[in-house]
């Protein structure tokens, strides 16, 4: 039997000989492959160990396999596992840790430089990008202590802080099946960049991970390689991001809580600006500038220090990014002038939610999180609205910068494949958005009267207790630039062609850049978010995030290009309904037309002809 007692002496001797041979080959092969350029990496010296959970084996078997790998000095051939009795306890984990450290190339990716894999390593990395949305193969070759670039504003570099007067910090990091090397790089980055006098503890909360690497080996590494201020808190089962964060916050002892995702790298002096601002304003919730670390090559991208974005939201309940508004830049200038500062906090209507700092007492006083929210999603907008409506502020601190790996998709599913984001969002909207909740239902009719909504009475009581303002106040004072598709408009809803059952549609195109206005079969009876358009009082044709423009002379026929827009005042293109139900572009004199859809499902503008049905349009609500 595999890995059981009672092996014969002959079998034991045979096993030991094989182990020594494998170990010798490993050492020879490893030292033979140490050479390479600093930011390119060819085929690894040995096939990298994949997360053992991918083998489809139970946890006990996985622990034995991990032990066998350590005893053999490297990964085992999956088709021919050696029947060895491996070392146990600390000796086992020490070998695993040393094997991990041996894979790392000193200096690789320093200063946030991207690294390109070649050969077999490249193929492995590409497969991982397709399955877990991250190049774990490359991550395992980067040092846990790699240095990020310093992209801070010059005023930030000149700033000096009175460390003795700043509050202490608990950093809370939630992880679920996070790649082992990525998690440890996050921890090391915090330790390397946060002054030890300010950092009281790092609390790693394991939300029921099944990856064997994140069990005993992680505990051993934390115990033997990291200071005692790093702690691991394990949930007995997966409870979701929100409840895992609450568990970490209950354990935290410092004055300030800093929540970080498990795939971050911190820029130098990121912590001091956050703590200084919280000391000045304990009811301010703060976010750093969040830089992008590419999941493919781990390139740390630093935009110009004046070119960062703040948070917004969409009426279907999602967070989105947008540029700092003119109104906010003017407010900043006034504040900086009054305080004689070079750089000031930037107000943000919402936050992404993965990285933020908050005074511990204020976190609990203002209601922490809605503990009945499951999984992930919605909690960031809920806290954003609650902070603003209940007397606090949400601010981006430009002198604090942290890199974050943005993945193209979630590499894991949520319990029972529930739409936790949607359910959590409607819980939030019912409590905090007042009658604006109807705009959520307009975009997500499936969420109205959702059977899994649960009871929100305790959150409504919290709102009354805190004497919070209305959502209308929030829209007028915090986010007046936000477009409301049903207010201050001439018409809204589906915009249908009279020629056939076709409506204007986004065709799910990326709204962060220009796109051609599409057309598709009308969704009925409920309007789809992709077909929700408005004609504003200023005669701008738009949806929530984009405005319709025409780059054409009067004699041309061209597609209608939708460009990102926040405020109608920034858009010159206007449209008007004629007496023949045509939608005429005022600047070009051309009319919106749905003809000639044989090759592309895009509408265009053409010379106006009153009798053509493809130029006749009707809004759902006028």
One domain for residues 209 and 289 = yes
Q: Is residue 145 part of a domain?
A: no
Is 482 inside a domain boundary?
A: no
Query: Chain-wide mean pLDDT for the chain?
Result: 87
Structure confidence at residue 598 as a pLDDT band (50, 70, 90): low
Contacts for 430 with CB less than 8 Å, ≥ 6 apart? 437, 453, 456
In this structure, is residue 89 part of a structural domain?
yes
Structural tokens at position 1: 């039997």
C-alpha–C-alpha distance, residues 20 and 178, integer Å = 33
Q: What is the pLDDT of residue 7?
A: 36
Do 63 and 179 belong to one domain? no
Reduced to 3 states, what is the DSSP secondary structure of residue 298? Answer: coil
The reported pLDDT for the residue numbered 415 is 65
Q: Which CATH number do you get for residue 567?
A: 2.80.10.50
Comparing 2 with 279, the larger pLDDT belongs to 279
Q: Which of 569, 566, 568 is nearest to 349 (CA)?
A: 566
CA distance 380 to 317: 11
Q: For residue 270, which of 331, 194, 338, 324 has the smallest C-alpha distance?
A: 194
197 and 288 co-located in one domain: yes
Q: Same domain for 120 and 158?
A: no
The residue range of the domain holding 302 is 154-406
pLDDT tens digits, residue range 403-440? Answer: 999 999 988 777 677 899 999 999 999 999 999 999 99
Q: Report in angstroms the alpha-carbon separations of 591 from 490, 499, 552, 582, 599.
A: 18, 15, 12, 6, 20
Percent with pLDDT over 90 in the chain: 76
**pLDDT surpassing 50 at residue 60:** no
Residue 401 pLDDT level (bands cut at 50, 70, 90): very high
Report, as an integer, the average pLDDT of 70-82.
Answer: 40
Domain boundary among 131, 165, 181: 131
The answer, yes or no, to whether residue 49 has pLDDT greater than 60, is no
Does 71 have pLDDT greater than 70? no
Q: Is the pLDDT of residue 54 over 50?
A: no
d(CA 21, CA 346): 62
N- to C-terminal Cα distance for the chain?
A: 77
Predicted confidence at residue 57, as pLDDT, reads 30
Please tell me the predicted confidence (pLDDT) of residue 158: 96
Residue 572, domain member (yes or no): yes
Q: Domain for residue 209, yes or no?
A: yes
Distance CA 339, CA 613 (A): 62
**125-159 residues labelled b (16+ CB within 10 A) or e (exposed):** beebbeebbbbbbbbbbbbbebbbbebbbeebeeb
Residues 227 and 364 in one domain: yes
pLDDT digits (tens, 9 = 90+) for 442-453: 999 999 999 999
Residue 248 lies in a domain: yes
pLDDT at residue 173 tops 90: yes
Q: Is the pLDDT of residue 485 over 70?
A: yes
Among candidate residues 348, 382, 406, the one where a domain is terminated:
406
* 175 plus 53 within the same structural domain: no
When pLDDT is cut at 50, 70 and 90, the band that residue 285 belongs to is very high
The Cα 88–Cα 463 span in angstroms is 54
Q: For 298-307, 414-423, 493-502, 533-542, which range has the lowest pLDDT when averaged over its residues?
A: 414-423
Name the packing angle between helices 420-432 and 379-389 (round to 10°): 10
- 96 & 213 share domain: no
What pLDDT score does 84 carry? 45
120 shares a domain with 169: no
Which pLDDT score is estimated for 50? 37
pLDDT for the residue numbered 376: 87
Residue 385: closest CA among 298, 291, 482: 482
Same domain, 271 and 189: yes
Per-residue pLDDT tens digits for 10-21 = 444 444 444 444
Which pLDDT band, with edges at 50, 70 and 90, does 88 fall under?
A: low
The yes-or-no verdict on residue 187 having pLDDT over 50 is yes
Contacts of 28 (CB under 8 A, 6+ apart): none
- Whether residue 245 is predicted with pLDDT greater than 80 in this model: the reply is yes
Q: How far is CA 503 from the centre of its chain?
A: 33
The three-class DSSP label of residue 549 is strand
Q: Are residues 314 and 219 in the same domain?
A: yes
Q: What is the pLDDT of residue 553?
A: 56
pLDDT for position 558: 84
Q: Cβ atoms within 10 A of the Cβ of 98, count?
A: 11
Are residues 39 and 80 located together in one domain of the fold?
A: yes
pLDDT at res. 290: 98
254 and 381: one domain? Answer: yes
Confidence of residue 570 (pLDDT cuts 50, 70, 90): confident
In a domain, residue 415? The reply is no
Query: Does residue 176 lie in a domain region?
Result: yes
Q: How confident is the model at residue 599 (pLDDT cuts 50, 70, 90)?
A: low
Decide if pLDDT at 402 tops 80: yes
pLDDT value for 67? 52
The total number of structural domains in the chain stands at: 3
Q: How confident is the model at residue 55 (pLDDT cuts 50, 70, 90)?
A: very low
């Amino acid at each position: 039997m595999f890995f059981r007692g009672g092996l014969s002496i002959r079998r034991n001797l045979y096993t030991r000989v094989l182990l020594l041979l494998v170990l010798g080959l490993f050492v020879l092969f490893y030292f033979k492959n140490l050479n390479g350029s600093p930011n390119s990496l060819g085929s690894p010296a040995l096939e990298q160990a994949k997360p053992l959970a991918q083998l489809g084996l139970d946890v006990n078997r996985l622990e034995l396999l991990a032990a066998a790998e350590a005893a053999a000095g490297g990964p085992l051939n999956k088709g021919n596992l050696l029947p060895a009795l491996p070392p146990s306890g600390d000796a086992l984990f020490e070998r695993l840790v040393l094997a991990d450290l041996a894979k790392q190339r000193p200096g690789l990716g320093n200063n946030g430089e991207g690294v390109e894999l070649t050969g077999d390593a490249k193929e492995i990395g590409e497969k991982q990008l397709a399955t877990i949305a991250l190049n774990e193969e490359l991550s395992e070759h980067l040092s846990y202590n790699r240095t990020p670039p310093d992209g801070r504003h010059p005023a930030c570099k000149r700033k000096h802080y009175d460390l003795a007067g700043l509050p202490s910090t608990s950093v809370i990091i939630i992880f679920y099946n996070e790649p082992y090397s990525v998690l440890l790089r996050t921890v090391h980055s915090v330790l390397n960049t946060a002054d030890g006098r300010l950092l009281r503890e790092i609390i790693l909360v394991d939300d029921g991970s099944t990856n064997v690497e994140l069990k005993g080996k992680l505990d051993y590494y934390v115990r033997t390689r990291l200071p005692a201020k790093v702690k691991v808190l394990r949930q007995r089962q997966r409870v979701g991001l929100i409840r895992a964060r609450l568990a970490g916050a209950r354990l935290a002892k410092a004055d300030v809580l800093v929540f970080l995702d498990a795939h971050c790298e911190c820029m130098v002096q990121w912590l001091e600006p956050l703590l200084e601002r919280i000391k000045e304003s304990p009811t301010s919730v703060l976010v750093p500038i969040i830089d992008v670390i590419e999941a493919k090559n781990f390139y740390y991208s630093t935009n110009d220090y004046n070119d960062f974005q703040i948070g917004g939201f969409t009426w279907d309940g999602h967070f989105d990014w947008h540029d700092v508004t003119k109104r906010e830049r003017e407010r900043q200038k006034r504040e900086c002038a009054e305080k004689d500062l070079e750089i000031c906090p930037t107000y943000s209507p919402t936050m992404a939610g993965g990285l933020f700092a908050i005074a511990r007492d204020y976190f609990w006083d203002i209601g922490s999180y809605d503990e009945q929210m499951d999984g992930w999603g919605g909690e960031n907008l809920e806290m954003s609205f609650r902070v603003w409506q209940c007397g606090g502020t949400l601010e981006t601190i430009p002198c604090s910068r942290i890199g974050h790996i943005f993945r193209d998709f979630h590499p894991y599913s949520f319990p029972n494949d529930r739409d936790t984001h949607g359910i959590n969002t409607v819980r939030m909207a019912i409590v905090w958005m007042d009658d604006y909740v109807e705009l959520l239902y307009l975009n997500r009719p499936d969420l109205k009267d959702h059977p899994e909504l649960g009871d929100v009475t305790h959150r409504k009581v919290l709102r009354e207790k805190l004497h919070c303002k209305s959502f209308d106040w929030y829209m007028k004072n915090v986010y007046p630039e936000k477009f409301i598709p049903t207010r201050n408009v001439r018409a809204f809803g589906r915009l249908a062609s009279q020629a056939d059952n076709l409506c204007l549609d986004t065709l799910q195109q990326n709204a962060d850049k220009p796109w051609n206005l599409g057309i598709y079969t009308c969704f009925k009876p409920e309007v789809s978010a992709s077909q929700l358009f408005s004609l504003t009082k200023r005669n701008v044709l738009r949806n929530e995030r984009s405005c319709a423009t025409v780059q054409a002379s009067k004699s041309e026929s061209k597609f209608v290009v939708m460009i990102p827009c926040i405020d109608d005042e920034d858009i010159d293109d206007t449209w008007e309904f004629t007496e023949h139900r045509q939608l005429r572009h005022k600047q070009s004199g051309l009319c919106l037309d749905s003809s000639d859809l044989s090759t592309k499902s895009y509408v265009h503008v053409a010379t106006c002809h009153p009798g053509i049905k493809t130029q006749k349009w009707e809004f759902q609500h006028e």
